[in-house]
Homo-oligomer: A and B are copies of this chain.
Amino acid sequence: MTNSFSAFQQKLTDIAQLESAIALLNWDKDVLMPPKGSGPRAAMLSYLAGELHDKVVSPEFRGLLGEAKAAADAGRLAPGERAIVREVWRDVSREEKLPLEFVKELAQVTSEAYHVWMDARAKKDFDLFAPHLAKIVALKRREAQLVGFQGSPYDALLDTFEPYATAPEIAGALGDLKNFLVPFIVKIRNAKAKVSRDVVAGDFDIEKQKAFCARAAKQIGYDFGAGRLDVSAHPFSTSFHPLDSRITTRYSRSEFMESISGVIHETGHALYEQGLPAAHFGTPLAEAVSLGIHESQSRLWENMVGKSRPFWIYFYPLLQREFPAALQNVSLDTFYRSINTVEPSFIRVESDEVTYNLHIILRFEIEKALIEDNLEVEELPVVWNSKMKELLQLDVPDDSLGVLQDVHWSGGMIGYFPTYSLGNLYSAQFFAAAKRDIPTLDEQMARGEFGALLKWLREKIHVHGKFYSAQELAKNATGEALNSKHFAAYITAKYSEIYEL
């Protein structure tokens, strides 16, 4: 390692320290901060964001990055160092293509659009939001032009969230998925088996829920010595370092599966963060590959593990012991089927794992068409509603239950949605490979043992940070590129049994 590369790494670590401090201030804001602290906290965060920006654009940092790039190009660096340079260079190059004027305009337009979206959703009036969304789409098209792309301009936007992925790849995977899901959901709808969420109902003490959630998180491998579980308005996970990666959830006295599933989901994210190599803190080698891979970890634990029969063979007796009034007369089988009820919903975030991806496919098709200039913003409600009919056989009653339900577009986050489905597809692909490599995984889970699975994920995914791209990582871990057939096979097997198809 050259002196200048070491100086470059030091700068990266400095930047990461500031980013972690900001993340902690945000965590505190969302979890603990007294309400009157919000104004001062916003000022503090704004100041630190400016400091961070100054560091990243400083001539000193750019100079060191340039030297590191030259060293990498001349073959003078080790593979890990080359990966660091590749990823930092990639981020910085993208940023450099966006003039300050453009960045400021986008920030202003989205800040305004966010408030208008809140209002429009409350009033169920898409027309209020439409001109703002049109501005955002125009700016994001311009962003794609500024950044540059080879195939679709959508690629240039996707790239921020899912590096190296392309629209055709995703269109292919999601197209296959759609072809599988739409008829499969019709089969479920017509199934004779009775499955309903309502069989499990009661009043679930919050303190007992907390203890159960913490127990579950710990048992699947979350290290409370390097993390915390707290309460916030919306569940999230955040990480300041692999040795301090925290999760939050919320509790409802009636909807106890919301907190359990939520905690297992966030634990999945946090297990990834806790598994990143601390020795490389500050560099891309200690960063998650992509949003899709991150989501694959949360969804694997939430659904493939946390809604599986083996998981509940172990945990259900414990749950029954905590909540005898509600659960003593509910069999494991009834409980398992209940928490896996498939029920098309207007709302993405309330959807089960079968119908969920159709919500994403709908959004992906729409936002891709918007960016490729094949769709006008004004047409959105009509297109949205007709797609909901086509995919889920639902008639959207108003736009608050339709095109206005998600915050993403108001914030300029176009290209984000597909990462949710990539997460689902990767999760099934990883889980299938893990099951192949650990033949007794089901038996282990039924005994409450998750160590072998976590070890597999650590070795195949977590420990590599951003050394590989998502595609390379999937090939190394599973022997093949992204393939939606694993998700289809998982869904088919699980729900054919539940719905007796």
Using Cβ atoms and an 8 Å threshold, which residues of chain B touch A28?
24, 28
Pairwise interchain contact A34-B226, C-beta atoms closer than 8 A: yes
A102 close to B (CB within 8 Å) = no
Using Cβ atoms and an 8 Å threshold, which residues of chain B touch A241?
37, 40
A164 close to B (CB within 8 Å) = no
A34 touches which one: B39, B43, B48, B225 (CB < 8 A)? B225
Pairwise interchain contact A14-B224, C-beta atoms closer than 8 A: no
Pairwise interchain contact A44-B32, C-beta atoms closer than 8 A: no
Pairwise interchain contact B244-A41, C-beta atoms closer than 8 A: yes
A321 close to B (CB within 8 Å) = no
Specify the chain B residue showing the minimal Cβ separation from A246. B34
Pairwise interchain contact A40-B225, C-beta atoms closer than 8 A: no
Pairwise interchain contact A227-B43, C-beta atoms closer than 8 A: no
In the complex, A323 Cα to B32 Cα: how many Å?
Answer: 30
Pairwise interchain contact B243-A39, C-beta atoms closer than 8 A: yes
Specify the chain B residue showing the minimal Cβ separation from A46. B17
Using Cβ atoms and an 8 Å threshold, which residues of chain B touch A47?
13-14, 17-18
The A331-387 residues at the B interface (CB cut-off 8 A) are none
The A249-271 residues at the B interface (CB cut-off 8 A) are none
The A11-66 residues at the B interface (CB cut-off 8 A) are 13-14, 17-18, 20-21, 24-25, 28, 32-37, 39-41, 43-44, 47-48, 51
Pairwise interchain contact A17-B44, C-beta atoms closer than 8 A: yes
A274 to chain B, nearest CB (A): 9
Specify the chain B residue showing the minimal Cβ separation from A48. B21
A281 close to B (CB within 8 Å) = yes
Using Cβ atoms and an 8 Å threshold, which residues of chain B touch A246?
34
A228 close to B (CB within 8 Å) = yes
A25 touches which one: B24, B225, B227 (CB < 8 A)? B24
Using Cβ atoms and an 8 Å threshold, which residues of chain B touch A226?
34, 36-37
Pairwise interchain contact A240-B36, C-beta atoms closer than 8 A: no
Task: Scan A95-131; emit 1 where CB is below 8 A from any B CB, else 0.
Answer: 0000000000000000000000000000000000000
A21 touches which one: B33, B44, B225, B278 (CB < 8 A)? B44
A223 close to B (CB within 8 Å) = yes
Using Cβ atoms and an 8 Å threshold, which residues of chain B touch A228?
32, 34
Given contact pairs A24-B25, A25-B24, A44-B21, A34 touches B224 in the complex (Cβ within 8 A) = yes
How many copies are assembled?
2
Task: Scan A229-251; emit 1 where CB is below 8 A from any B CB, else 0.
Answer: 00000000000110110100000
Pairwise interchain contact B17-A240, C-beta atoms closer than 8 A: no
In the complex, A28 Cα to B246 Cα: how many Å?
Answer: 13
The A209-224 residues at the B interface (CB cut-off 8 A) are 223-224
Specify the chain B residue showing the minimal Cβ separation from A225. B36
A281 touches which one: B40, B41, B240 (CB < 8 A)? B40
Specify the chain B residue showing the minimal Cβ separation from A32. B228
Specify the chain B residue showing the minimal Cβ separation from A242. B40
In the complex, A18 Cα to B43 Cα: how many Å?
Answer: 11
In the complex, A41 Cα to B243 Cα: how many Å?
Answer: 10
Pairwise interchain contact A37-B223, C-beta atoms closer than 8 A: no
Most buried by B among A35, A37, A44, A241: A37
Specify the chain B residue showing the minimal Cβ separation from A38. B243
A50 to chain B, nearest CB (A): 9
Using Cβ atoms and an 8 Å threshold, which residues of chain B touch A243?
34, 36-37, 39-40
Using Cβ atoms and an 8 Å threshold, which residues of chain B touch A20?
40, 44
Using Cβ atoms and an 8 Å threshold, which residues of chain B touch A17?
43-44, 47-48
Specify the chain B residue showing the minimal Cβ separation from A227. B34
A283 to chain B, nearest CB (A): 14
Specify the chain B residue showing the minimal Cβ separation from A230. B32
A309 to chain B, nearest CB (A): 33
Using Cβ atoms and an 8 Å threshold, which residues of chain B touch A227?
34
Given contact pairs A17-B43, A21-B44, A244-B41, A36 touches B281 in the complex (Cβ within 8 A) = no
- 23 inter-chain pairs at a CB distance below 8 angstroms, sorted by A residue, are A13-B47, A14-B47, A18-B47, A20-B40, A24-B24, A24-B28, A32-B228, A33-B244, A34-B224, A34-B226, A34-B227, A35-B225, A36-B226, A36-B244, A37-B240, A37-B241, A37-B243, A37-B244, A39-B243, A40-B241, A40-B244, A40-B278, A44-B240
8 tightest Cβ-Cβ pairs between the two chains A and B? A37-B244, A40-B241, A36-B226, A17-B47, A36-B243, A36-B225, A17-B44, A40-B243
Known: A21-B44, A24-B28. 15 other contacts (CB 8 A): A20-B40, A21-B48, A24-B25, A34-B224, A34-B228, A34-B244, A34-B246, A36-B223, A36-B243, A37-B241, A37-B243, A40-B243, A40-B244, A40-B278, A41-B244
